[in-house]
Structure 1
Amino acid sequence: MTLPDPDVGSGELDLIAPIPTASNGTYLATIEGIPVVYKPVSGEQQLWDFPDGPLAHREMAAYLVSEALGWGVVPRTWLRDGPLGAGMVQLWREPDPEQDPVDLVSSDAVPDKGWRHVLTAQDSRHGTVVLIHEDSPALRRMAVFDVVVNNADRKGGHILAMPDGHRYGVDHGLTFHVQRKLRTVLWGWLGEELDDEEIAGVEHLRLSLGAGLGQALSGLLSAPEIVALDERCQGLLSEHRFPAPDGRMPATPWPLF
């Protein structure tokens, strides 16, 4: 499902229903019969640690960075007016309900291969549970993307597993802070070296920041936030490996899903 004609994205936006699991005002809507997610700025809750600019702008900036990396992590996203005012609109992607790229399993049910361990904890009945995620190129690229945009809220439910193996990431309002705020469930490659494709994607992003991407982001983020974005890219290209958590911040979001 695509929106090949940019004019389609500006067609009449019809609300279908609110999405009750979202913390901010989020709606399932359609544009000429095509399902989309609509997040009006008027439905955003003010956050003390993300006070600058609407979250919708950060969602749009995350999409532009995803496109510059060339990995298609974020579904097509744009800004426009709607029934509840200006906001972010994103193409709806229906995940495969049979796939769980991130899972919480008992300690005796951890798969032998194809999965990465993130953390071990006790459940309410004092049993041992393990947070795991799949060991796939698509999820590795998402983890690199999260480092670059400084994603403070990569929950398991923010990863959409598509039937063809592609993985989309959604809900990127808590991104691009100048301080390091990376909170994610994708810590399974901690300290490992980036591969050639991942390095090439970050290099291309840095080049794009010096061209049209930097100009586009200047209308969405503050100048210090864009500088911090470039510095995170430099850090990855200097170290060539997945970073460790910052000890001053929680390493994972809560809830995890």
Structure 2
Amino acid sequence: MPPPERVPAPAVSEGTGIEELLTRGELTVRGRIAEASNAVLLCTVTYEGASADCVYKPVRGERPLWDFPDGNLARRERAAYLVSQATGWGLVPATVLREGPYGEGMVQHWIDAGETPESGLLALVEAEEPGEGWKAVAFAEVGEGRTALLVHADDPRLRRLAVLDAVINNGDRKGGHLLPAPDGRLYGIDHGVTFHTEDKLRTLLWGWSGEPLTEEARRVLDSLAAELADGAPLATRLAELITPAELAAVRGRVAQLLREGTHPEPSGQWPSIPWPPV
């Protein structure tokens, strides 16, 4: 009997196929990712002769968060994937909700980055300005009384992710959550701390703060606004995952981005950069 066919990271148009594999396939737990704060299990999923690596985050393995009492983090991860798919940018690996060996949880296609997550995207430079091709984030202490400038690449893939994070109100965009795939695509992972009704945006991607949104981003946001309207398919699916107030807040953030036409700036009422940043 031949071994199951391995499924690579899918293009946006292939989302339905990988979702079926993740939803219907048999999950085999291979180990635990120890450095994660919640239970994250590395698995293989197999279905009808195809298989893929994936991560499984059971709800029962989540650490309770005082400021996210409504629902669980797994449902927010699924919601972030649905919004990402609706943008057409495909920035979040295929993510489903399903039963697994340890109960209901989020199952997400594993992306083999092939290099360190920060490679070519983030850097510390001992300079006052970021340099060509880079955007400044903040100054950071690096020891012995020295500071360095934290910068990220002026990369259209990152810029799209910054827009997505603003829409879903991502409270934890760390460097380690950026996965550049060998095929040139960029993925963002770990979206459990999202969709809060209050401004929780914490990210390393502040380099475009206050700058005008690209025409592409405005077109995507216009389309997203329509898909979030009452009765629209995306709104209906999100309503099963987040609260009515959280869904209303998503609509409000999209409307605000379109109205102001710029990338958001730190509010000053909440730490703007996650800790640890990587």
Shorter-chain-normalised TM-score: which range?
over 0.9
- Which runs of structure 2 are paired with 1:26-175 in the superposition (5 Å)? 26-32=40-46, 33-97=51-115, 100-108=119-127, 112-175=131-194
The letter for the 1-side match of 2:253 is R
Deviates more, 1:7-16 or 1:58-67: 7-16
Deviations 1:194-222 (A, max 9, x none): 01110111111111112101110111000
In 1, distance between residues paired with 2:120 and 2:173?
Answer: 13
| Cα distance, 1:236 vs structure 2 | 0.4
Residue from 235, 248, 251 that aligns with 2:256:
235
Alpha-carbon distance in 1 for matches of 2:199, 2:102: 33
Q: Deviations over 1:73-104 (max 9, x none)?
A: 10111011111111000001011316624434
CA deviation after TM superposition for structure 1 residue 245, in Å: 0.5
Q: Is the deviation greater in 95-104 or in 164-173?
A: 95-104
Q: How does 1:195-214 map to 2 (within 5 A)?
A: 195-210=214-229, 211-214=232-235
Superposition CA RMSD, Å? 1.7
AA in 1 matched with 2:210? G
> How far apart are the structure 2 equivalents of 1:241 and 1:133?
18
SS of 2:143's equivalent in the other structure is coil
TM-fit CA distance, 1:243:
1.2
Which letter maps to 1:31?
A: V
List runs of 5+ in structure 1 lacking aligned partners.
none
2:198 match: secondary structure: coil
| SS of 2:213 mapped into structure 1 | coil
- The correspondence for 2:196, drawn from 167, 177, 201, is 177
> Are 1:188 and 2:219 matched, yes or no?
no
User: How many residue pairs are counted as aligned between the two chains?
Assistant: 257
- Asked if structure 1 preserves the Cα contact closer than 8 Å seen for 2:134 and 2:154, the reply is yes
Identity of aligned residues (%): 46
Matched, 1:248 2:269: yes
- 1:16 corresponding residue in structure 2: 30
Measure, in 2, the Cα distance between the counterparts of 1:175 and 1:192.
Answer: 23
1: CA distance between counterparts of 2:114 and 2:134?
18
* Conservation of the 8 A alpha-carbon contact between 2:19 and 2:95: no
| Residues 30 and 44, structure 2, Cα contact 8 Å, conserved in 1 | yes
Partners of 2:239 and 2:154 in 1: CA distance: 35
- 2:198 counterpart letter in structure 1: Q
- Opposite residue 129 of structure 1, the aligned amino acid is A
Could you tell me how far apart the structure 2 residues matched to 1:97 and 1:152 are? 25
Q: One-letter code of the match for 1:212?
A: P
C-alpha displacement at 1:174, in angstroms? 0.3
Q: Indicate conservation of the 8 Å contact 2:19/2:94, yes or no.
A: no
CA contact (8 A) 2:19 2:96 kept: no
How far apart are 1:184 and its partner, in Å? 0.3
Instruction: Indicate conservation of the 8 Å contact 2:130/2:149, yes or no.
Output: no
Say if 1:228 and 1:5 are closer, same or farther in 2 by CA, change over 3 A.
closer
**Counterparts of 2:19 and 2:93 in 1: how far apart (Å)?**
15
Does the 8 Å contact 1:115/1:133 carry over to 2?
A: yes
Q: Kindly provide the CA deviation profile for residues 215-241 of structure 1, in whole angstroms up to 9, marking residues without a partner as x.
A: 101110000000000000000000111
